[in-house]
Amino acid sequence: MALTRADAWATVCEFTASESLRRHMLAVEAAMRAYARRFGEDEETWAVTGLLHDFDYERHQTAPAHPVEGERILALRGWPDDVRRAILSHADYTGVARETRMERALHACDDLTGLIVAVALVRPDHDLGAVKVSSVRKKWKDRAFAAGVDRDEAEAAAAALGVPLEEHWQVVIEAMQGVAGELGLGGL
């Protein structure tokens, strides 16, 4: 099977009705594409990995069904091993260690995109374009804000990727700003 973004998006749409979950996957796709560019890796492979990483979540919300069941579906559809392994590795409870740069990037970008979306949503204009590293820094310190984001784990994930934390925020913010309209965060 040829690895295409169109196939990945079709899979996302087949399994995911939630607009917010689709937008999350689009945000992670953008961040993964940015990191592939930064590291000189295959952008399409990294991007579809980000896009597909939670495609099965609506149907399999409990661990370890997500992403294990999703990986099985992707295997049946012919998705490559590296994409499926990265998706498995983004959930600690699968026991799949993050060994490759793509696997570490997916883990580092996943929760951070949610925090950045939350930062944009608390702005009166909901404009992701106006979000800056300083905006994230301010909210990062407030552990009650976007409480589902484990700051310690996120810091460790950025370190494992080899990118200083605030530089990581900047990469992900800029990537997401490039797709702000698709994320519904282009401002009111």
For the chain, 188 residues long, the average pLDDT of each consecutive 10-residue run is: 87 97 98 98 97 96 90 96 97 94 98 97 96 97 94 97 98 98 91
Predicted local distance difference test score (pLDDT) of residue 125 = 95
Predicted local distance difference test score (pLDDT) of residue 158 = 98
Terminal-to-terminal C-alpha distance of the chain: 41
Predicted local distance difference test score (pLDDT) of residue 99 = 97
CATH code for the structural domain at 5-177: 1.10.3210
> Which DSSP letter does residue 127 get?
B
Predicted local distance difference test score (pLDDT) of residue 103 = 98
For the chain, what is the total number of helices (H) and then of strands (E)?
9, 0
Q: Which residue type occupies 154? A: A
* Residue 176 to residue 178: CA distance in whole angstroms: 5
Residue 127's DSSP bridge partners are 186
Kindly state the tokens that stand for 125: 């204009």
Locate the domains of the chain by residue range: 5-177
Predicted local distance difference test score (pLDDT) of residue 174 = 98
Beta strands in the chain (DSSP E): none
